[in-house]
Structure 1
Amino acid sequence: MNSQLQFQVNHWLNQIKDDSEKQALMSLIEQGDEAKIAACFSGRLAFGTAGIRGIVGPGPMGMNRLVVRQTTAGLGNYLTAQMKDACQRGVVIGYDGRHDSRQFAHDAAGVLTAMGFKVFLTAKVAPTPLVAFGVKHFGAAAGIVVTASHNPPAYNGYKVYWHNGAQIIPPHDSGIAACIEQAATQELPFIELIDATKQDKLHWLMDDFFEAYRHQIYHAGVLQFGGEKADDGKLFTPGADNISLAYTAMHGVGANMAETVLKDAGFNRVYSVAAQREPDGDFPTVNFPNPEEPGAMDLVIAEAKLHNAMLACANDPDADRFAVAVRKDDGEYQPLTGDQVGVLLGHYLLSHSNPDQRLVGCTIVSSSLLSKIAAGFNAHYYTTLTGFKWLMNVGIAQSSPHSRFLFAYEEALGYTVGNLVWDKDGLSAIVAFAKLCAELSCKNQTIWDRLTEIYQQHGYHLNTQVSIATSGDAGGIGAKLRADTVQQIGGFGVQACADLNASEKRYADGHVDTLDLPKSDVLIYELEQGLRVIVRPSGTEPKVKCYYEVCLPMLAGETLTQVRERAQLKMSALINAHQASL
């Protein structure tokens, strides 16, 4: 081991307080695995707008207790520099069911209370949306949730919310990162939680906090469409008795709250997958605990078939995402895409919303269908870069008394219903979707009927994402694409090209518009016949991530299956032609 690496290792070992983490590094040393040791000390987990996330392991490149304490000290210093009353307002901390999450959350609380912060710490595992809710609920300066969401078992992460309840955006990410680098060179403050509690610095969030979120869901105006009061004064959902659904928490933390808020809304025929109901950081029944992955919803679909349920629903392990498969006439279950769920919820909410609450949005890579639905309702629509940090911060900025926020989504199964939580929330989303199904059932209609109505009015939209390897040099692909004036893709003329890096949109007739979006290495080609190609070149690898959209008018008498097949043929031709051109 070279002297510089030896110095880094010794310095790290001297700072570690946890014997098991010290042993993990000592084992690598005893094995003489210098390559692995060097990888552990090759840098530091980068802090960005999503915080930090990585494999649990030793060194500054791993997720471990020392990294969490250093990150927290940096965050604390940044908060006090940005807000005079940050310590008094406090920080909300929650955590998911992964093996190390509770310990990491307690470490963060010990650092912040030692720095003089009031800390609100959940006494048990909590869905990520509840931490975002807690920041607003307590008027806190920030929030921290220890979670790796739907990543494999070896991972963990640390996500930060700003005082507005939304995820941080620039320049806060780089500001916090700089403070972390500084904190990592200094002695870290820390007090034991029992002492922090005695000093009234640490406030444990018990059942009453979870009940506060439940109460807000129950009374949320955007979830009361079509609701009625029973003789006892309780709200109920007409048609709820017609709805049955299977549910899985996917070994995460969503089950208790999901089942509770569904029952509160009158949905009593809910069948949870027992093998996946309780938190388990090993995720033993799924290879990859992400509802988007093939096979991840097999057990919940099997549960739905067992009960002949209408829906098979899933939250990801931290319950901020929502996925659903819907029973078809043949008894099989068809998963809906994130875009389909997004347009269904958007249409449902807009069809009932107040005139002053019609602000909806989605990301640049999501379907353009929501914008057309919004126009049909004379609603306000916005679009952002990918990520809920942008969807929520822009939604907050654009909200006004005459145009209040209603709904936003991204195609990766994230949905925000109303302004209870300024982040994606898979719990309120499942309630909203169940209520939509109940309303349709009262009209003897299904989700498939509603989708058909939407497609007949606005056209059938098919969206696909593909990563394409190219022969170009890494980092030079974007420049090459910008240097070429693309006039057609797959035989379809380019009507406009939006270059987010240049903040401009150029039309075929030479007209140029300025874009009001943060600079990003993204090109958006709008083609004839409602086609769209979005290209995000990689800055480090010879590949591009491409998002394709095909829009077709739905013909008279055409079924969903028939129009889908037509769209898929056109989509395949578009992808093949575009891939050949790169």
Structure 2
Amino acid sequence: MTSDLFAAVQQWLAHDPDPHAAAELAACSTEDLAERFAATLTFGTAGLRGPMRAGPNGMNLAVVLRATWALGTVLTRHGRGGEQVIVGYDARHHSAEFARGAAEVLAAQGFPVTLMFAPVPTPVVAFTVRHTGAAAGVQITASHNPASDNGYKVYAAGGLQIVSPVDTEIEAAIAVAPPADEIPRGEVTTSGTEFVTRYLERASSVRRASGSVRVALTPMHGVGGDYALDALALAGLSDVAVVEAQFAPDPDFPTVTFPNPEEPGATDRLLSLAADIDADIAIALDPDADRCAIGVPTASGWRMLSGDETGWLLGDYLLCDADAGSAVVASTVVSSRMLARIAAGYGAHHVETLTGFKWLARADEGLDATLLYAYEEAIGHCVDPAAVRDKDGISAAVLACDMVAALRARGLSVTDALDELARRHGVHTTTAITRRIESPSAAAELMADLRSRPPQRLASYPVETIDLAPRTDALVCTGGDAATSVRVVIRPSGTEPKLKCYLEVRCDGDLEAARTRAAQLQATLAEQVRELTQRGPN
């Protein structure tokens, strides 16, 4: 161990309020210590997220205390000192401890703090910030990350995820924050149930059809189970069976490798339950219940819908009963273009944003129209922006059940509705290809090579490549003709050492013939993209 590394470790331990940190660091190898102290955990998507471990490059109480001191400092600098702040947490290891520490720091800085009385879904905090007019909110959660991780998510006024320059201001303030044990902490009391009650009443109110729906539900070992049952019951949907082995919050997520409904095998128990009870719909929430995946029965058995398919269905369902001329629907650059066609069919505004709900939630800024619905392909849906300006798995689940009831009243199934959309707007198929990259620098080299030598043809069509830099590190390749289009978006992951490629094919015409051709084109496109991303730099 170098003298500099030894000094950094000793300095950290001198101020870490966690009495177990010394033993944890003493058991680390030199290589592990070097990684933990090589950098500090940085702000990513609206906050911090990383493995729970001692040291500046991990999620721990010391990091939370310093980040919260920085947040309070920035709020005060922006003239929001002394205003209310909402603090919530999920059921992961240390979430309650981190939340109380954050609340105590804010209280000592003079902010009236509402600390949630129990673990709550992330959208409850987003709703409460908006409902109360609070200056900010903090939710301790790592969403669908592995059990070893935790995170610190920050909401600005209105319950919107923070964006630049606020995130960079907080990060700069963290760099000059006092040592963790020197940061003052004040007394806090926990809230009552009133904010949760208001949230559940609002989430249930997105229902507008009638009739019963049989539901199979899993909260994936997270906090959404009881809250979802309550919201569904308030909406008149009480015929719900749950995956018992995954219902109670469990921070170890024992029945899944990754607690993400999109992961292969994660929803096997849910779909089995749905088949056993002859359900009308299967619903999987991620652990903090801000994302919602839908499963449906088909002629060949149960299957999970993609996030794009759910986005088409919910977007169309909301637009069909709205004042479309004053409505905005939004999707991200890596999501399907089908929603744009659906919106055009109704005469509504469609906005394409950069990835992430921090942009989707602001899609109607500067427009003489109001956001009605937003989604991202990673099963995130905002179905009631007036209440929650973020993705909300529970209100999305209520609306999805409502849609099923409305379709059944017309004698239609969910697959029938997808067929209807394909006939009106063309068959759209989507898939994603991921290449693991050794390091961020290797990803940057590959992106630079793709920029210098973009593809000229994909799936037999000439393509145009648009570079989204400097707004974001992504390339968009598009081509096709009046009846067919191909589209590929290539970007490095913001959280993992991966290069992600999002593929979409659209084919118009006879439904079955269009599906056959789209499947063929997608297979060709996928092979070409794999070859494209495997080549080395010049």
Q: TM-score range by the shorter chain?
A: over 0.9
1:45-84 aligned at under 5 Å gives the runs 45-82=41-78, 84=79
- Out of 157, 165, 170, which is 1:163 matched to? 157
Distance 1:282 1:413 in 2: 22
Q: 1:516: which partner in 2?
A: none
Distance 1:149 1:12, change over 3 A: same
Report whether the alignment pairs 1:149 with 2:140. no
Distance 1:54 1:537 in 2: 18
Distance 1:469 1:569 in 2: 26
Q: 1:134: which partner in 2?
A: 128
- The code of the aligned residue for 1:272 comes to V
- Report the Cα offset of residue 275 of structure 1: 1.3
Q: 1:232: which partner in 2?
A: none
- The code of the aligned residue for 1:575 comes to A
**Could you report, residue by residue, the CA deviation over 1:399-449 in whole angstroms, capped at 9, with x for unpaired residues?**
54xx22100000000000122101100011001110000001111110011
- Report the Cα offset of residue 148 of structure 1: 0.7
Q: 1:234: which partner in 2?
A: none
Q: Which runs of 5+ in 2 are unaligned?
A: none
Report whether the alignment pairs 1:209 with 2:195. yes
Distance 1:540 1:294 in 2: 20
Distance 2:451 2:256 in 1: 42
Q: 2:474: which partner in 1?
A: 522
Is contact 1:247–1:272 with CA below 8 Å preserved after alignment?
Answer: yes
Is contact 1:91–1:143 with CA below 8 Å preserved after alignment?
Answer: yes
Report whether the alignment pairs 1:284 with 2:254. yes
Is contact 1:98–1:156 with CA below 8 Å preserved after alignment?
Answer: yes
Distance 1:554 1:188 in 2: 68
- Report the Cα offset of residue 62 of structure 1: 1.4
**Could you report, residue by residue, the CA deviation over 1:18-60 in whole angstroms, capped at 9, with x for unpaired residues?**
22233322443xxxx2222222211111123431111111111
Q: 2:489: which partner in 1?
A: 534
Distance 2:161 2:144 in 1: 18
Q: 2:23: which partner in 1?
A: 23
Report whether the alignment pairs 1:412 with 2:381. no
Q: 1:106: which partner in 2?
A: 100
Distance 1:10 1:393, change over 3 A: same
> Tell me, what secondary structure is at the counterpart of 1:531?
strand
- Out of 256, 270, 282, which is 2:226 matched to? 256
Is contact 2:204–2:395 with CA below 8 Å preserved after alignment?
Answer: no
- Report the Cα offset of residue 563 of structure 1: 5.1
Is contact 1:253–1:279 with CA below 8 Å preserved after alignment?
Answer: yes
Distance 1:541 1:149 in 2: 15
Distance 1:186 1:438, change over 3 A: closer
Distance 1:319 1:469, change over 3 A: closer
**Could you report, residue by residue, the CA deviation over 1:357-415 in whole angstroms, capped at 9, with x for unpaired residues?**
411000001000000000000001101111111111233x1454xx2210000000000
> Tell me, what secondary structure is at the counterpart of 2:150?
strand
Q: 1:429: which partner in 2?
A: 396
Distance 1:154 1:468, change over 3 A: closer
Is contact 1:89–1:139 with CA below 8 Å preserved after alignment?
Answer: no
**Could you report, residue by residue, the CA deviation over 1:129-168 in whole angstroms, capped at 9, with x for unpaired residues?**
0111111111111110000111111110101111131111
1:43-442 aligned at under 5 Å gives the runs 43-82=39-78, 84=79, 86-184=80-178, 188-191=182-185, 196-197=187-188, 202=189, 204-219=190-205, 223-224=206-207, 227=208, 237-239=209-211, 241=212, 243-330=213-300, 332-355=301-324, 357-395=326-364, 397-398=365-366, 400=368, 403-419=369-385, 420-442=387-409
Distance 1:538 1:54, change over 3 A: closer
Is contact 1:40–1:62 with CA below 8 Å preserved after alignment?
Answer: yes
**Could you report, residue by residue, the CA deviation over 1:314-370 in whole angstroms, capped at 9, with x for unpaired residues?**
10000000001101234x211100000000000000001134641100000100000
Distance 1:485 1:286 in 2: 39
TM-score for both structures, normalised by structure 1: 0.86
- The code of the aligned residue for 1:6 comes to F
- The code of the aligned residue for 1:530 comes to S
Report whether the alignment pairs 1:14 with 2:14. yes
Is contact 2:70–2:173 with CA below 8 Å preserved after alignment?
Answer: yes
- Report the Cα offset of residue 187 of structure 1: 6.1
Which structure: larger Rg?
Answer: 1
**Could you report, residue by residue, the CA deviation over 1:222-264 in whole angstroms, capped at 9, with x for unpaired residues?**
x25xx3xxxxxxxxx422x2x2110001110001111111111
Distance 1:498 1:253, change over 3 A: same
Distance 1:357 1:267, change over 3 A: farther
Is contact 1:473–1:542 with CA below 8 Å preserved after alignment?
Answer: no
Q: How large is the RMSD of aligned CA atoms in angstroms?
A: 2.3
Distance 2:412 2:69 in 1: 55
- Alignment size in residue pairs: 527
Q: 1:580: which partner in 2?
A: 531
**Could you report, residue by residue, the CA deviation over 1:67-106 in whole angstroms, capped at 9, with x for unpaired residues?**
1101111111111111x2x233221110000011000000
- Report the Cα offset of residue 537 of structure 1: 5.3
Distance 1:258 1:20, change over 3 A: same
Distance 1:538 1:328 in 2: 33
Q: Which runs of 5+ in 1 are unaligned?
A: 228-236, 503-518
Range 295-304 or range 17-26, more displaced: 17-26
Distance 1:93 1:479 in 2: 41
Distance 1:274 1:386 in 2: 34
TM-score for both structures, normalised by structure 2: 0.93
Query: % of aligned pairs identical?
Result: 41
- The code of the aligned residue for 2:527 comes to N
**Could you report, residue by residue, the CA deviation over 1:189-212 in whole angstroms, capped at 9, with x for unpaired residues?**
3335xxx24xxxx5x222111101
Distance 2:373 2:272 in 1: 31
- Report the Cα offset of residue 270 of structure 1: 0.6
1:550-565 aligned at under 5 Å gives the runs 550-555=505-510, 558=512, 564-565=515-516
> Tell me, what secondary structure is at the counterpart of 1:89?
coil
